[in-house]
Amino acid sequence: MNASFLCQYRHLAMAVATVVVLPLVLTSGSLATEVLIFALAALGCNLLLGYTGLMSFGQGIFLGLGSYAAGLALLHLRIPLIAVLPLAMIVGALAAALVGWFSIRQRGTYFVMLTLAFAQMFYFLAYTLRDITGGDNGLLDIPRPPLEILGQRLLPTAGPWEYYTLVAVVFVVVFWVLQRIVDSILGRTLLAVRDNEARAAAAGYDVRMLKLIAFMISGAITGLAGALHAMLTGIAPLSNIEYGTSESILIMTVIGGTGKLFASVLGAGFYVLVGDWLSTLWPRWLMLLGMLLIAVSLFMQKGLWGVGTGLLQRVRRQGRADDTATQRSAAYD
């Protein structure tokens, strides 16, 4: 087996281990489900930031539109769950195509400003279309149907842990597909665009098309996360599409570390779980979280993934040094 296959298997094994461990360490099924949902959103963001070099502040657009698409489909169309999730992905991908088509024409600060402008535009659009989105109240009483195919029930979703099982299956499948993408020729080409866009263009790659494809994949994954979140809470709130949500998803991605998919899972878990814990300590827990994020930015610039791999390498070096010292001691004896 080659190195890339082993790396893919290792990261997939960690993703599977995550969905197994969460029910063992958390008493709340809703909290565990929220971790996986935002891990999906962070995965989509990491594809843009870590693999393509695009810092987008428009991820909340796709999360919010995925929430609205799922809510409207379940409330008014009564379509089955097996069709709701692909619908949310299509809506997210189409919105990403629109945002990306304009944004990728600029670089650096102007790219960031365009994604931020689109985020504000979609927010006020959702706020204005009260008959469709519910305005500042959002869409309420969104049902959570079981997973059925041809009338056969595959997975119930009524209970918190039952719904967690569905989200866990979706998470593992999406993680595997995304790992296949980043390990493919497309993924390697995206890294080339990230590292040296001018050289990639000179080599004959259509840089704009590659960026647009990355945007659409990211939008589809984030839209899926939005649909799952709407069914988790029973609400598609206006806050899902606002700038603050985009900021939170970006923070999760940076905390975990960019350029490694499982790092996004670490970042999302850290943000959600630490935020939940701090909220029980002080009503103004966001201030504590802000100070914690400052510490992470100053002393953990490679994210949680970088810290973990650094500690592992240090342990390995210490182990090799101990083995060498033991061998030398044995030789002298």
Q: pTM for the full model?
A: 0.90
In a domain, 296, yes or no: no
State the virtual CA torsion across 173, 25, 46, 147 in degrees, nearest 10: 30
In a domain, 301, yes or no: no
Kindly report, residue by residue over 184-224, the tens digit of the pLDDT.
Answer: 999 999 999 998 888 989 988 999 999 999 999 999 999 99
In a domain, 333, yes or no: no
Query: Which residues does residue 139 pair with via DSSP β-bridges, in sequence order?
Result: 236
For helices 3-25 and 261-279, angle between their N-to-C axes, nearest 10 degrees: 20
In a domain, 236, yes or no: yes
In a domain, 164, yes or no: yes
Q: How far apart are CA 250 and CA 91, in angstroms?
A: 21
Q: Backbone phi, then psi, for 84, in 5-degree steps?
A: -65, -45
Structural domains of the chain, count: 1
Higher pLDDT, 97 or 107: 97
Q: How confident is the model at residue 1 (pLDDT cuts 50, 70, 90)?
A: very low
**Of the candidates 139, 17, 9, which has an alpha carbon nearest to the alpha carbon of residue 75?**
139
Q: What CATH number is associated with residue 71? A: 1.10.3470
Q: How far apart are CA 104 and CA 114, in angstroms?
A: 9
The stretches of 183-302 forming alpha helices (DSSP H) are 185-195, 197-202, 207-233, 243-256, 261-279, 285-299
Report the SS3 class of residue 144. Answer: coil
Kindly report, residue by residue over 134-190, the tens digit of the pLDDT.
Answer: 988 999 999 999 998 877 888 889 899 999 999 999 999 999 999 999 999 999 999
In a domain, 310, yes or no: no
Give the residue-averaged pLDDT of 68-85.
92
In a domain, 58, yes or no: yes
Range of the structural domain that residue 48 is part of: 2-284
State the burial class of residue 300 (Cβ atoms within 10 Å of its Cβ: 0-12, 13-18, 19+): middle
Average pLDDT, the chain: 88
Higher pLDDT, 325 or 83: 83
Report the SS3 class of residue 154. Answer: strand
Q: How far apart are CA 281 and CA 291, in angstroms?
A: 15
Report the SS3 class of residue 56. Answer: coil
Q: Write out the H or E segment, with its range, that includes residue 147.
A: strand 147-149
In a domain, 256, yes or no: yes
Q: For 74, which DSSP code? A: I
- C-beta of residue 253 within 8 angstroms of C-beta of residue 42: yes
Neighbour tally for 273: CB within 10 Å: 17
- C-beta of residue 256 within 8 angstroms of C-beta of residue 266: yes
